[in-house]
Chain A
């Protein structure tokens, strides 16, 4: 077990970073939603994800044993130390971008965390079970809205299709397993990539069909790097804003 810890910590940080960065993106929309009800829903999802990030970080910090708590992990790491997938750091764009990004992520998150409930690591299984209820709702919501926009007006269809196409290249990374992921699979901690990808493609395909959207090719070229700390230029700005206060007044209690 001990030999696995660094990889396990890395894996937990990936889970936490995905949730944290997407939560930060959604928080940017507070007060800017297209309707009061949507505004509430977006911030609810942001809060859910933030709560999940805290759970993953706390566990990662404990395992790591270097005294880093959730705050240290969120506020005192720079972009190259973040392990989130590139998808979640993409800008909010228009509302179709926000929703399609959410839908791509939620679908993956739902099947991944659904499998993590069976994880051989009891603490991961516990966090997964708690998170899955929230994620189930996220997926239902984002899928429903993608159908509404895709099968809405000609203009909303056009915007949603454009968002689906533009964000597609960031979806491959979720199934691009490296040594860390493979070790988790071997230890029975995480589910294998192939099954996840199949479930993801099937669900996205079904929703896109209902939404009258054309699904981009699963064989398209995919962007990657986020999981290993190589990010798009967007993450640095996001972190500069998020971490400003803690960097300006390090060690302050709040």
Chain B
């Protein structure tokens, strides 16, 4: 079955969630069924959720070998992190 049905990655925004979060993957013959299946497998029918599905083949991931080159420079420069600003009371969920 998995030979015929491509793999889809599933992202779900929960009822009070702000962003879609990767929750897992599944096999489905096309996008519509992938959404249906994602709803059955991952949401158990919670109302007010949003589902994104994307073919796993369409996702380009960074290579683990590039980890140092991509991420190390940011870690060594604290002035790049906006941690010195007090957060206003009104700003929630950041």
Name A residues whose Cβ lies closer than 8 Å to a Cβ of B.
Answer: 34-37, 40-41, 44, 141, 144, 148
Is A41 in contact with B32, judged by CB distance below 8 angstroms? no
Q: How many contacting A-B pairs (Cβ < 8 A)?
A: 29
Query: Is B14 an interface residue, CB under 8 A from the partner?
Result: no
Nearest chain A residue, comparing its CB with the CB of B4:
A35
**Which chain B residues (1-57) contact chain A, with CB distance < 8 Å?**
1, 5, 26-29, 32-33, 36-37, 40-41, 44-45
Interface-centre pick from A34, A37, A40, A44 (highest chain B CB count, 10 A):
A37
A35 to B32, CA, bound (A): 16
- CB pairs A–B below 8 angstroms (6 shown): A37-B40, A40-B41, A41-B37, A41-B40, A44-B40, A44-B45
Is B32 in contact with A37, judged by CB distance below 8 angstroms? no
A208 to B46, CA, bound (A): 31
Chain B interfacial residues counted at CB < 8 A: 14
Is B32 in contact with A144, judged by CB distance below 8 angstroms? yes
Q: Which residues of B contact A34 (CB under 8 A)?
A: 1
Closest 4 CB pairs of A and B: A37-B37, A41-B40, A40-B40, A40-B41
Q: Which residues of B contact A141 (CB under 8 A)?
A: 36
Nearest chain B residue, comparing its CB with the CB of A41:
B40
Is A37 in contact with B28, judged by CB distance below 8 angstroms? yes
A144 to B37, CA, bound (A): 13
Nearest chain A residue, comparing its CB with the CB of B37:
A37
Q: Which residues of A contact B37 (CB under 8 A)?
A: 37, 40-41
In the assembled complex, the CB of B3 is this many whole angstroms from the nearest CB of chain A, namely 12
Q: Which residues of A contact B27 (CB under 8 A)?
A: 35-37
Is B1 in contact with A41, judged by CB distance below 8 angstroms? no
Q: Which residues of B contact A144 (CB under 8 A)?
A: 32-33, 36
Q: Which residues of B contact A148 (CB under 8 A)?
A: 29, 33
Nearest chain A residue, comparing its CB with the CB of B30:
A148
Is B1 in contact with A35, judged by CB distance below 8 angstroms? yes
In the assembled complex, the CB of B31 is this many whole angstroms from the nearest CB of chain A, namely 12
